[in-house]
Structure 1
Amino acid sequence: MARKRKEESSPGAPLWLVTYGDMVTLVLTFFVLLFSFSSIDVQKFEMMIMSFQGALGFMPGGKAIQQDAAVFGGQPASQAGESRRVTPNIQQVAQNLRNYLRSEGLDKQVVVRIDQRGVTVSLSDQFLFDSGKAELKPEGMRVLFKIAEFIKDSVPAVAVEGHTDSVPLRGGIYRDNWGLSSARAAAVASYLQYRANFDPRKLQAVGYGPNRPLVPNDTPEHMALNRRVDLVFLSQHPKQ
């Protein structure tokens, strides 16, 4: 009996210690929550909150969260660093261009694509220029004029980029493919300004030579794809 009374009188954990342990656990949980908020994607969190509110029936009227129109490298365009954002308006311009090129039978020579930088219009050199030259052909001028009509009032700026294949130049007025690609880009930009009435403040021109191929320069067909002039729709005016 004495032993039983001794066990019953053994002190247990004080009640205040239990309360203190619960409080510490709650504080720890609170700081973990704050840490998770510090690295959360704000846009996705806002969309989650709006969706939750809408499910409960009290979505505020007139308020909406618009998702990015393109995803670059597996992330929204707003998180893509210097990547260009593809707005719905530019997407519509790209679709209109595709429809026009298809109707004119030019969808093989002029390709409209959406990539990590935004919307790019690639024009084959086969109908823009003669081999080794940077003077625009009449058929190339016609297509450039039509493209300018589509984009000059719809995009903030356009980068004109000249590209060649990897075959070294043999003779002619240009020392190498750098010079040829730069001259072709400048010729296209000049035409857009002076003949198609494109705002020159929206234009920039650069030549890349053979250094940014679409495909390896291993066949004549691939080389033809790499010889091109790209019109890249930019999201903002070129820096002055």
Structure 2
Amino acid sequence: MVEEDGPAGSPAWMATFADLMSLLMCFFVLLLSFAEMDVEKFKQIAGSMKMAFGVQNEFELEDIPKGTSVVATEFSPGQTSDTPIETIQQITDQTTDPSLRVGDGELDDAEAEELLQEKITALLAETEADAEKLKDMLEDETQTGKVDVESDGRTITVRIREQGSFPSGSATLNTDFVPVMARIRDALVEIPGTISIEGHTDSTPLRGGRYESNWGLSSSRALSVTHELLREGLLKDDRMMVVGFADTRPFTFNDTVEGRASNRRVEIVIRQGIDDAENTELDNIREINPDALDILGIE
């Protein structure tokens, strides 16, 4: 019996299989074409596979190995620049004061002028506050017209009028005025500064009496006030200075009775000036503004 051979050629399913393989190959080729190669991950995977399979290559080292990071790869170093500062700062070489900037730099004209104005304002405010304190402590005397208190720059003047203080042509204080001098003395203890006791008269010449001229009368009255202020030892001698001006510095005109009465006076002049703590700034103030000390009333 003779067996019959099957149909010639590949089976029918091979055509379908070949089509399927072609489609799969095209699919993976498309996937590969759309994919992005991550070089870092590829190197990590390749390195892991080398270690897993024992494959190690040796390369000759030419450069120092450099590490990479997200900051290094994603950010570039920026350029530094100076930041302008618009604030005014004082300069000092004392490191104990936190409110001042330590250094030896120089201020520009605008900064120096502003610092100068602040300094002048602060000093004038101190003197004005002391003058107001004197007015409060001598309120009764100022209201009755026996004493006047005024300030100008860094100078405070307590003006004692002749009315009630001295008899006409005499340098002896009235006993009724001694308590007033005691209150003035207590007030001056709390006010800093040098004290100049200055006697003044009107322009009427003296005829007879104890004093030959207005110079002697003005000086003696200033000295009497000084002796009264130095009682009790509350005020120091080195703060005092006695001056007699006679009629050379009138307060007003001498052509009326009221004017001459105003000119007969003793003035207690308190000059505060600049204390030792501020002497280091004196030269700088003169360089910035030569007229600044005139504004403050400082000689």
The bucket for the TM-score relative to the shorter chain is 0.5 to 0.7
Match of 1:175 in 2: 212
- State the shift of 1:101 in Å: 3.4
Is the 2:199–2:265 Cα contact (8 Å) retained in structure 1? yes
**Counterpart amino acid of 1:44?**
E
Q: Please say if 1:44 is aligned against 2:99.
A: no
Relative to 1, partners in 2 of residues 1:126 and 1:223: Cα closer, same or farther, differing over 3 Å? same
1:168/1:41 CA distance change after superposition, 3 Å: farther
**Is 1:212 paired with 2:263?**
no
Q: How many residues align?
A: 169
Q: 1:105 to 1:152 in 2, by over 3 A?
A: closer
Distance 1:41 1:135 in 2: 55
* Residue-by-residue CA offset, 1:101-142 (whole Å, 9 max, x unaligned): 334564522111123561111100111110111111123221
Corresponding residue for residue 225 of structure 2 = 188
Identity %: 33
Superposed CA offset, 1:143-189 (max 9, x none): 12111111223212210000000011121111100000000001111
RMSD of the alignment, in Å?
A: 2.8
Answer yes or no: is 1:134 the counterpart of 2:171: yes
Q: Name structure 2 gaps, 5 residues minimum.
A: 1-105, 276-299
Change (3 A) 1:220 1:43: farther
Q: Which residue pairs with 1:161 in the alignment?
A: 198
Question: Over residues 49-92 of structure 1, what are the superposed CA-to-partner deviations in whole Å (9 max), with x where a residue is unaligned?
Answer: xxxxxxxxxxxxxxxx843248xxxxxxxxxxxxxx6461x422
8 Å CA contact 2:198–2:267 kept in 1: the answer is yes
**Per-residue deviation at 1:100?**
3.7
Partner of residue 148 from structure 2, selected from 96, 100, 111: 111
2:141 and 2:180 in contact (8 A); partners too: no
Structure 2 letter corresponding to 1:68: I
Cα 1:42–1:130 change in 2 (3 A) is farther
Deviations 1:11-47 (A, max 9, x none): xxxxxxxxxxxxxxxxxxxxxxxxxx99958742447
Distance 1:195 1:86, change over 3 A: farther
Alpha-carbon distance change, 230 to 68 in structure 1, aligned in 2, over 3 angstroms? same
Is the contact between residue 200 and residue 246 of structure 2 (CA under 8 Å) also seen in structure 1? Answer: yes
Q: Work out whether residues 148 and 196 of structure 1, in 8 Å CA contact, stay in contact via their aligned partners in 2.
A: no
- The answer to whether residue 67 in structure 2 is matched with residue 67 in structure 1 is no
- The one-letter amino acid of 2:136's match is N
2:259 pairs with 1:222? yes
* CA–CA separation in structure 2 for the residues paired with 1:113 and 1:216: 20
| Worse-matched range after superposition: 134-143 or 98-107 | 98-107
Larger radius of gyration: 2
Kept in 2, the 8 Å contact 1:101–1:107? The answer is no
